Structure formats: structure tokens, C-alpha cells
């Protein structure tokens, strides 16, 4: 394809060649008695000039310019031939015609080559566009893959972080933190744990909005709990799966959300949710990540609860829920040292169920266990913060009143004894009044060492039983 600038140059050269040929032809026609060499040179110049003009015209402008210049050249040759009467001008016109025909062939071949070139250029441009689009798509894919790689690397960090936390509160707070970091989206994160006894949700941790009205979750959370499936809503105002009145109430707080159930051992232990005041804030990929974090969080939360139960079993009696003797004595030792350092007071009590062996012999050991559990629940409910209750052994229960002298401890012991007696135990329609005997010792009135306090309280318990049971002995 000849560029338009080159075609313009060829057209100008064609006109210049034509004008120059006409000029020389006019000079030839007025020259008198010229030598032979002059005729030959001038003839070659004229023929070459007209031929160049014709060829350039065909190449530069195709048929219109080529035909025009050819006719003009032939007419000029014939006109000068007629004027001068010199022979050979008709043959010159025929030569111009043949040159024009050659120019036509060249122009036609050039047009074919131009068309082929244009077709190949279009194909090349199309290929370039396809390659460019493919490169752009690959760049986008690489960007998406890099983003996913970053997110899944963050998931590895989630696993490592969760494995180092043992408390349930710590696990819940860490889950909230990692959801925001991993998804990299703005919004409020909520974590609800399931109360297994009531089968209802309870808010355990949150970020973003401190004022949360639905402490037990809204209808979106209830839907996930009921259907055990994840949920994504791009715009609550355009989602027709939920009642309009509930949606209208939620519009002011959020417009889009993702929710995932926390499933462990085929049971839902919680709900993990993220919402935003913007529409279409989350994608399916965000929901998949939330699902993964919810699963990891469920396993960690279950492990934390198991650890808590195991730890509790190590210090709590399995039947009564009271502190074990070993743990109680460790704390007793610490409290005696603290009282000695701060010059405070404390009182130690040993409680024994009156006629407990008779209950076991008459009704069986299971009945005795029920009595112990009943007493443990009542006594625990009457303790102050900081006081301790433990199972000393068999039917004996120990109590420690921190910061309480003998007189106050005696009054509190009587209160406990009377409360236990006033609430009879009912089993199989049988009403049984339970009485207890209590031995009391106080620091520093009675002794300064825990071993002595225990011995004195034990002696006073025996004294209470000898004096007729159902009483507190403090002296």
C-alpha cells in the first residue's frame, strides 16, 4: 500500500515530468536546423519525461489520473506533430498508449497488493488485539491469584494464631480480628455462640458497632441456624426471601451481609457474620473465606471449651461441682498467708450431714448423692464473692469465709444451717428434712496455721454431733 504522502509526491513528480516534457517539446519545435545529436537527446528526454509522468500518474492516483495524463500526453504529441509537420509523433502517441497500458497493469497489481496488504494488516491488528486482550485477562487472573494467595497465606496465620489460644473468650476475639484482616473489607463482624440448653444464639464477640440491638441474632442469623447453610445477601432491600417488615427494620443498620455457621462434629456451636452499610460489599469468594474461618474457629472454640471443662474437672468435684479437696487446701494455704501478711481474718468450717449413713442404707447411695448435690447447690448460692466451698470427703463439705472473724462467721454458719433445714428434700413423694452439724475455727483467734485450724474445726464438728447434731460449734 502506497502511503498518501508518497502518492502526493508521485503525483507532483508526474506533473513536473509532464510540464518538463512539454517545455522541451516546445523548444524542439522552434529549433531550426538542429544537429542529429540534438534530435536524439531531445527525443529521449521527451519520451522519458512523458513516460515517467504517465507511470507516476497511474501509481499515484490510479485510473483517473493515469488516463488523464495519458490523454494529455498523446494529445500534446499529436498537436506538436501537426504544428511542426515532423514525422514520428503518431508513433510517439502509440508509445505513450503502451506506457499507459503498462501503468494500468502496474496500478492493477498495486491495488491487488494493497488489498492483500490491507487484509493482512487487518488480520495482524486483530491478532494484536486478541493478544492484547489475552494479556490483559492474564494480568487480571494473575492479580486474582495473587490476591487469593495472600488471603490463603493469611488463613495459615489464622490457624497458627488459633492454635495458641486456649480460652474461649480469647478464641472468639481472635476470630473477630482475623475475619477483618483476612477479608480486607470494611464492615461489622459479629460472633454468636449457641446456648445448647436453650438452643438460642448469644452474642459473644463483635467489632465495629458497639451498639447491637439483636443480642440473640436477627432473622438472618436465625435462618442460618435453622438451615445450617451459609448466606450471602448483596442488598437486603432487593432480597425477597425474607419478610418485608424485617428487611425494612434492618436497612438502617446494614445493606449487605455474609453469614456462616460454625459447625463442629456435625453440630452448630455458633454463627459468624460480617455486614456492611454498602450494597454488594461482599463476593462469593469472601463467603468461602468466611466459611473456612468459621470452620477453623468452630474447632478452636470446641477445643477451648473442652480445655475449660478438663481444667474445671481438675479442680471441681464431678458430683457436687464444688472444689476438690486438693485445690481447696491449696487455696486455703494461700488465704492464710494473705491474711497473715495483711493482718486480716478468715474462718474455716467443716459441715457434715446428720445421719447420712442411714439415708444411704435406707434409700441407696444414689439417694445420698442427690442429697449432697442438693446441699452443694444451696450452700454455693449463699456464698459471697471470694468465699470458697469444697468437698472435703464423703458427706463432709468445707467452707472458707475470707476476711470474716469468728462472730460474723458464726452468724453466717447459722444462716446456712437454718436454710438447709428449712428447705426439705423431696424424693418419690417423700419429704425429708435434712440437718447438718458444723465445726468452726477462725484465724487468728483459734490458730495461725491451716493445719491447726483444720484440727480445731474437726474437733468442734465432733463436739456438735456429740451435743445432739443440727448445730454449729465454734468453741
Domain at 325-473, CATH from 3.40.50.620, 3.30.70.270, 3.20.20.70, 3.30.1370.100? 3.30.70.270
CATH 3.30.450.40 in the chain, residue ranges:
169-313
pLDDT, one tens digit per residue, over 218-242 is: 888 888 998 899 999 998 888 777 7
Q: Quick check: helix, strand or coil at residue 195? A: strand
Per-residue b or e along 351-372, where b marks 16 or more CB atoms closer than 10 Å to that residue's CB: bbbbebeebbeebeeebbebbb
Task: Report H helices in 316-364.
Answer: 325-342, 356-363
The CATH code of domain 169-313 reads 3.30.450.40
CATH 1.10.132 residue ranges for the chain: 4-123
Distance CA 125, CA 109 (A): 24
The series of mean pLDDT values per 10 residues for the chain, 475 residues long, is: 57 61 58 51 60 67 70 69 59 65 69 80 86 83 69 71 82 88 86 86 80 77 90 85 70 85 88 90 89 88 84 83 91 92 92 88 83 91 91 91 93 93 80 90 92 94 93 91
Query: SS3 of 380, please?
Result: helix
Global pTM reads: 0.53
d(CA 167, CA 181): 21
pLDDT of residue 213: 67
CA 118 to centroid of chain Cα atoms: 52
d(CA 287, CA 234): 12
pLDDT at 48: 63
Q: Is residue 10 a contact partner of residue 60, using CB atoms and an 8 Å limit?
A: yes
Rounded CA gap, 426 and 107, in Å? 120
pLDDT attached to residue 32: 44
Per-residue pLDDT at 232: 92
Query: 3.30.1330, 1.10.132, 3.40.1350, 1.20.120: which CATH number matches 4-123?
Result: 1.10.132
Closest CA to 373 of 413, 316, 329: 316
In this structure, which long-range contacts are made by residues 93-98, counting pairs with CB atoms below 8 Å and at least 24 apart in sequence? 95/47, 95/51, 96/50, 96/51, 96/54, 96/70, 97/70
Q: How far apart are CA 267 and CA 254, in angstroms?
A: 28
Cell numbers that stand for 219 in this block: 432473622
> Is the bond preceding residue 449 a cis peptide, omega within 30 degrees?
no
Coil, strand or helix at 350? strand
Beta strands at 396-402 and 388-393: parallel, antiparallel or unpaired: antiparallel
Please tell me the predicted confidence (pLDDT) of residue 17.
61
Q: What is the pLDDT of residue 406?
A: 92
Asked if 405 and 345 count as a contact pair (C-beta separation under 8 A), the reply is yes
- Distance from C-alpha of 287 to C-alpha of 276, rounded to nearest angstrom: 14
Residues 6+ apart with CB under 8 A from 278: 255, 256
Nearest to 381 by CA among 324, 459, 322: 322
Cell numbers given for 359: 439415708
Task: Show the CA angle centred on residue 308, arms to residues 154 and 290, nearest 5°.
Answer: 25
Amino acid at each position: 500500500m502506497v502511503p498518501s504522502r508518497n502518492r502526493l509526491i508521485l503525483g507532483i513528480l508526474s506533473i513536473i515530468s509532464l510540464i518538463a516534457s512539454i517545455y522541451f517539446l516546445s523548444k524542439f519545435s522552434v529549433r531550426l536546423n538542429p544537429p542529429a545529436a540534438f534530435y536524439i537527446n531531445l527525443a529521449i528526454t521527451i519520451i522519458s519525461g512523458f513516460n515517467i509522468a504517465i507511470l507516476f500518474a497511474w501509481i499515484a492516483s490510479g485510473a483517473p489520473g493515469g488516463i488523464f495524463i495519458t490523454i494529455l500526453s498523446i494529445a500534446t504529441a499529436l498537436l506538436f506533430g501537426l504544428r511542426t509537420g515532423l514525422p514520428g509523433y503518431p508513433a510517439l502517441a502509440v508509445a505513450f498508449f503502451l506506457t499507459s497500458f503498462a501503468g494500468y497493469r502496474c496500478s492493477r497489481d498495486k491495488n491487488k497488493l494493497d488489498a492483500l496488504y490491507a487484509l493482512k494488516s487487518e488480520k495482524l491488528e486483530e491478532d494484536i488485539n486478541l493478544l492484547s486482550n489475552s494479556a490483559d485477562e492474564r494480568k487480571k487472573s494473575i492479580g486474582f491469584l495473587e490476591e487469593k494467595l495472600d488471603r490463603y497465606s493469611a488463613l495459615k496465620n489464622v490457624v497458627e494464631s488459633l492454635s495458641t489460644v486456649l480460652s474461649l473468650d480469647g478464641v472468639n476475639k481472635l476470630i473477630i480480628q482475623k475475619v477483618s484482616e483476612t477479608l480486607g473489607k470494611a464492615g461489622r463482624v459479629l460472633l454468636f455462640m449457641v446456648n445448647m440448653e436453650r438452643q438460642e444464639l448469644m452474642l459473644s464477640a463483635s467489632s465495629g458497632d458497639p451498639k447491637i440491638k439483636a443480642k440473640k441474632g436477627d432473622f438472618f442469623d436465625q435462618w442460618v441456624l435453622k438451615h445450617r447453610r451459609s448466606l450471602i445477601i448483596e442488598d437486603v432491600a432487593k432480597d425477597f426471601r425474607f419478610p418485608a417488615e424485617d428487611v425494612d427494620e434492618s436497612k438502617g443498620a446494614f445493606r449487605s451481609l455474609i453469614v456462616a455457621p460454625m459447625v463442629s462434629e456435625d453440630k452448630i456451636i455458633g454463627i459468624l457474620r460480617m455486614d456492611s452499610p454498602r450494597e454488594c460489599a461482599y463476593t462469593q469468594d469472601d463467603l468461602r473465606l468466611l466459611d473456612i474461618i468459621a470452620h477453623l474457629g468452630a474447632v478452636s472454640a470446641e477445643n477451648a471449651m473442652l480445655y475449660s471443662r478438663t481444667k474445671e474437672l481438675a479442680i471441681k468435684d464431678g458430683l457436687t461441682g464444688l472444689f476438690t479437696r486438693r485445690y481447696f487446701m491449696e487455696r486455703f494455704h494461700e488465704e492464710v498467708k494473705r491474711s497473715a501478711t495483711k493482718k486480716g481474718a478468715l474462718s474455716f468450717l467443716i459441715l457434715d450431714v446428720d445421719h447420712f449413713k442411714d439415708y444411704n442404707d435406707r434409700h441407696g447411695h444414689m439417694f445420698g448423692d442427690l442429697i449432697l448435690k442438693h446441699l452443694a447447690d444451696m450452700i454455693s448460692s449463699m456464698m459471697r464473692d471470694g468465699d470458697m466451698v469444697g468437698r472435703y470427703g464423703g458427706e463432709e463439705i468445707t467452707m472458707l469465709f475470707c476476711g470474716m472473724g469468728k462472730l460474723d462467721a458464726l452468724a453466717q454458719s447459722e444462716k446456712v444451717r437454718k436454710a438447709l433445714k428449712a428447705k426439705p428434700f423431696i424424693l418419690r413423694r417423700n419429704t425429708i428434712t435434712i440437718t447438718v452439724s458444723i465445726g468452726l475455727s477462725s484465724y487468728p483467734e483459734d490458730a495461725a496455721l491451716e493445719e491447726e485450724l483444720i484440727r480445731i474445726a474437726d474437733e468442734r464438728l465432733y463436739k456438735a454431733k456429740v451435743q445432739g447434731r443440727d448445730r454449729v460449734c465454734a468453741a
